[in-house]
């Protein structure tokens, strides 16, 4: 039977709970255990799919087409275990499920309540789809004390009883702030937060204490005493120099050992962490550096492009170079050509990422043009590929080329797709239909042309990548675009949906309709990102 690790946070948010969960899972995995990480989000949206990237950061998409919290991206990058729909649930989804059942009369006249109905639904979610696993890590979003997270904490309390002794461990992540004026680390917020959690019936077995200064032994002992845990189970967690240094750092502080001990499992031999030391060696001892310009819309909040940021770093790991990312606001590229050139000239490669809406699109198209004309490596992802196709059409004389996403156009190079085949059968959508969960979502196969640039990058002609978009490049314009030098080198297996375009006459010019960044791992960089950064390295030697 799977053992459960419940992870809560206290004092403040943004302490790196997701990273802690991902790192602990990676450490348990390195010890030979099978793991899965789940995220419980207390907000009322059914999923983060309709939330602004500014509010919530990136929407992470799983193979099975779920739009999920970006923490699932960390989980996947650290463990290599592909996340699923069943790994992320929100209060909104739970209530939606319950209210749908209530309307059908499934509760047979009972009064529907938070306890037991909501808590039962949360428990069912935690226990669904866990066959054969050694450990299930459940991260509760938000901070203990939030009204919204109460049903989740209550569900954990019940579940810990249901599972029985030794079958679950509770980890609480808190902040130990440093008060400069007093020159001291303060343990009181941690004590209060643990008391609040304990009052809800969940006593933590392990405390992870984030601080900016090393935690002195005396403070560690004090936290242990007041919070009712062994001193060794108070794990200090200082800021790390890279997120990929976090697993080794937690191991050095004894996190995995203490968690196993809390389960009554003899920790045994230390895990082999070569994978992580190799990554850190490559990050800390680069043999060069490149600067990549990312021309996008949500550049004010780095979390909006979380996976993209990581995938570019992975490309650097693959080539042993430092990757400097310049987040460039697409709206700055709408004016004068000389000004655009001045901004883009320092870049060794240009990337136009995914996005929604018209704002900044002319700037994105101008950046594509700059990259094409100047032979600068170019990578277009999702909306970025669509912009590359529109740029090619305009270059070929179709000056009003556009996408129906931005309004009516007489040259719809990119258009709304209302019907396509998926592994679950024919998918159909209506114009003006619901926005939530109605895109082409999740993993779809693609066939690559045998002698294309991308087939040599992938070393394969059959690939599968994750999608999240509503519009598609219109194959009606394929011939026109190919005449202009843009080759459709990847298509859906039935040949109807363009998946990849490339320019064989350019040093590196690839547009993909999917999101390769979602599948890149630090220990297994995505081939497209590895190749793109390699092209940037070549470019850096030219300038
Ligand atoms: N807005 C575009 C579409 O829906 C692209 C989406 C994206 O880049 N993820 O097709």
Same domain, 299 and 192: no
Same domain, 252 and 331: no
Instruction: Report residue 421's pLDDT band, with 50, 70 and 90 as the boundaries.
Output: low
For the stretch 36-69, pLDDT in tens is: 999 999 999 988 888 887 778 899 999 999 999 9
Residue 434: inside a domain: no
Tokens of 478: 């394929």
Work out the burial of residue 173: count CB atoms within 10 Å of its CB; fewer than 13 is exposed, 13-18 middle, 19 or more buried.
Answer: buried
The number of distinct structural domains making up the chain is: 2
DSSP state of 521: B
Backbone angles phi, psi at 280, to 5 degrees: -65, -35
CA-proximal residue: ligand 1, atom 7 (nearest):
354
Probe ligand 1: pick from 359, 386, 517, max atoms within 8 Å of CB? 386
Q: Is 338's pLDDT higher than 90?
A: no
**Closest among 404, 431, 425, 399 to 415, alpha carbons compared:** 404
Q: Is 429's pLDDT higher than 80?
A: no
- Ligand 1 closest atom vs CA 405: 1
Give residue 169 CA to ligand 1 midpoint distance, Å.
Answer: 41
DSSP state of 524: B
Tell me which of 297-311, 321-335, 415-429 is least confident: 415-429
Q: Please confirm whether the linkage preceding 403 is cis (ω < 30° from 0).
A: no
Set 382, 389, 499, 502: catalytic member: 382
Residue 233: half-sphere exposure toward Cβ, Cα within 13 Å: 22
Q: CA-CA distance, 265 to 201, in Å (whole number)?
A: 24
Query: β-strand 35-41 against 60-61: which pairing, if any?
Result: unpaired
Same domain, 128 and 237: yes
Residue 426: inside a domain: no
Return the CATH number at 491.
3.40.50.880
pLDDT of residue 239: 92
- Residues touching ligand 1 (Cβ under 6 Å) are 354-356, 382-383, 405, 468-471
Q: CA-CA distance, 310 to 272, in Å (whole number)?
A: 23
Judge contact between 204 and 197, C-beta under 8 A.
yes
Residue 166: inside a domain: yes
Respond yes or no: is residue 382 known to be catalytic. Answer: yes
Residue 385: inside a domain: yes
Q: CA-CA distance, 362 to 329, in Å (whole number)?
A: 12
Tokens of 307: 């996976």
Same domain, 118 and 62: yes
**Rounded CA Rg of the chain:** 25
Give residue 516 CA to ligand 1 midpoint distance, Å.
Answer: 14
CA-proximal residue: ligand 1, atom 3 (nearest):
469
Give residue 141 CA to ligand 1 midpoint distance, Å.
Answer: 27
Respond yes or no: is residue 515 known to be catalytic. Answer: yes
Residues facing 533 on adjacent strands: none
- The residue from 278, 301, 329 where one domain ends is 278
Terminal Cα distance for the chain, rounded:
59
Instruction: Report residue 431's pLDDT band, with 50, 70 and 90 as the boundaries.
Output: low
Which residue, chain included where needed, has tokens 């024919």? 426
Residue 495: inside a domain: yes
Which residue, chain included where needed, has tokens 């009064």? 111
Same domain, 261 and 357: no
Q: What domain range is 410 assigned to? A: 286-416+472-540
Residue 538's SS3 state is helix
Same domain, 401 and 480: yes
CA-proximal residue: ligand 1, atom 6 (nearest):
469
- The residue from 247, 278, 309 where one domain ends is 278
Same domain, 95 and 219: yes
Same domain, 218 and 354: no
Q: CA-CA distance, 428 to 419, in Å (whole number)?
A: 5
Give residue 355 CA to ligand 1 midpoint distance, Å.
Answer: 5
Set 251, 309, 469, 515: catalytic member: 515
pLDDT of residue 148: 93
Query: β-strand 234-238 against 206-211: which pairing, if any?
Result: parallel
Residues facing 524 on adjacent strands: 521
Respond yes or no: is residue 117 known to be catalytic. Answer: no
Residue 428: inside a domain: no
Same domain, 386 and 273: no
Give residue 532 CA to ligand 1 midpoint distance, Å.
Answer: 21
Judge contact between 323 and 316, C-beta under 8 A.
yes
Judge contact between 155 and 183, C-beta under 8 A.
no
Same domain, 144 and 191: yes
Residue 406's SS3 state is helix
Return the CATH number at 244.
3.40.50.300
Residue 477 host element (H or E)? none
For the stretch 101-111, pLDDT in tens is: 999 999 999 99
Probe ligand 1: pick from 60, 470, 497, 511, max atoms within 8 Å of CB? 470
Residue 27: inside a domain: yes
Instruction: Report residue 149's pLDDT band, with 50, 70 and 90 as the boundaries.
Output: very high
Instruction: Report residue 416's pLDDT band, with 50, 70 and 90 as the boundaries.
Output: confident
Judge contact between 419 and 427, C-beta under 8 A.
yes
Q: Which positions ≥6 away from 300 have C-beta within 8 Å?
A: 54, 329
Residue 127: inside a domain: yes
pLDDT of residue 419: 63
Judge contact between 499 and 281, C-beta under 8 A.
no
Set 248, 395, 517, 534: catalytic member: 517
Residue 65: half-sphere exposure toward Cβ, Cα within 13 Å: 12
If you average pLDDT over residues 82-110, what whole number do you get?
94
User: How many other C-beta atoms are found inside a 10 Å radius of the C-beta of residue 181?
Assistant: 5
Judge contact between 301 and 331, C-beta under 8 A.
no
pLDDT of residue 542: 81
Q: CA-CA distance, 153 to 10, in Å (whole number)?
A: 12
- The residue from 278, 306, 339 where one domain ends is 278
Tell me which of 249-253, 384-388, 477-481, 531-535 is least confident: 477-481
Judge contact between 483 and 396, C-beta under 8 A.
yes
Give residue 354 CA to ligand 1 midpoint distance, Å.
Answer: 6
Same domain, 331 and 219: no
Q: CA-CA distance, 233 to 261, in Å (whole number)?
A: 9
Same domain, 320 and 245: no
**Closest among 419, 333, 401, 335 to 368, alpha carbons compared:** 333
């Amino acid at each position: 039977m799977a053992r459960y690790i419940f992870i809560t946070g206290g004092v403040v948010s943004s302490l790196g709970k997701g990273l802690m969960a991902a790192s602990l899972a990676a450490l348990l995995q390195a010890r030979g255990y099978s793991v899965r990480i789940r995220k419980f989000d207390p907000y009322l949206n059914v999923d983060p799919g309709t939330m602004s990237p500014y509010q919530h950061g990136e929407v992470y998409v799983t193979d099975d087409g779920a739009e999920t919290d970006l923490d699932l991206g960390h989980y996947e990058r650290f463990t290599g275990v592909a996340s699923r729909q069943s790994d992320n649930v929100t209060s909104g989804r739970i209530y939606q499920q319950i209210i749908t059942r209530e309307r059908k009369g499934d509760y047979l006249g009972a009064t529907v309540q938070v306890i037991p109905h909501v808590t039962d639904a949360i428990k069912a979610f935690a226990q669904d789809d866990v066959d054969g696993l050694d450990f299930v890590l459940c991260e509760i979003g938000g901070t203990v004390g939030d009204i919204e997270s109460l049903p989740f904490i209550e569900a954990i309390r019940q579940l810990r009883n249901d599972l029985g002794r030794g079958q679950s461990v509770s980890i609480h992540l808190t902040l130990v702030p440093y008060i400069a004026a007093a020159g001291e680390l303060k343990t009181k917020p941690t004590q209060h937060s643990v008391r609040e959690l304990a009052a809800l019936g969940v006593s933590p077995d392990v405390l992870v204490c984030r601080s900016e200064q090393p935690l002195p032994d005396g403070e560690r002992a004090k936290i242990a005493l007041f919070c009712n845990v062994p001193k060794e189970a108070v794990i200090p967690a200082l800021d790390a120099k890279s997120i990929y240094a976090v697993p080794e750092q937690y191991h050095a502080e004894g996190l995995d050992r203490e968690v196993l001990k809390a389960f009554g499992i003899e920790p045994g031999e230390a895990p082999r962490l070569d994978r992580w030391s190799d990554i850190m060696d490559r990050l800390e001892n680069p043999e060069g550096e490149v600067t990549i310009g990312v021309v996008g819309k949500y550049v004010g909040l780095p979390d909006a492009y979380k996976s993209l940021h990581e995938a570019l770093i992975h490309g650097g790991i693959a080539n042993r170079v430092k990757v400097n990312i310049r987040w460039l606001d697409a709206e700055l590229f709408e004016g004068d050509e000389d000004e655009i050139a001045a901004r883009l000239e320092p870049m060794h490669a240009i990337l136009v990422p995914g996005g929604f809406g018209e704002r900044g699109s002319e700037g994105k198209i101008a950046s594509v043009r700059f990259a094409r004309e100047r032979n600068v490596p170019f990578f277009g992802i999702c909306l970025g590929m669509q912009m590359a196709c529109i740029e090619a059409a305009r270059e070929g004389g179709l000056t009003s080329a556009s996408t129906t996403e931005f309004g009516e156009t007489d040259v719809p190079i990119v258009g709304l797709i209302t019907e396509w085949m998926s592994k679950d059968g024919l998918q159909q959508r209506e114009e003006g239909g619901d926005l939530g969960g109605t895109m082409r979502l999740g993993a779809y196969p693609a066939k690559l042309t045998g002698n294309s640039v991308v087939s040599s990058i992938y070393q394969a002609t059959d690939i599968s990548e994750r999608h999240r978009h509503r519009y598609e490049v219109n194959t009606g314009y394929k011939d026109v675009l190919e005449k202009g030098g843009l080759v459709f080198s990847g298509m859906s297996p039935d040949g109807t949906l363009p998946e990849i375009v490339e320019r064989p006459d350019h040093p590196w010019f690839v547009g993909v309709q999917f999101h390769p960044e979602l599948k890149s791992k630090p220990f297994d960089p995505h081939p497209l990102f590895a190749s793109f950064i390699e092209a940037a390295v070549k470019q850096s030697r030219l300038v």
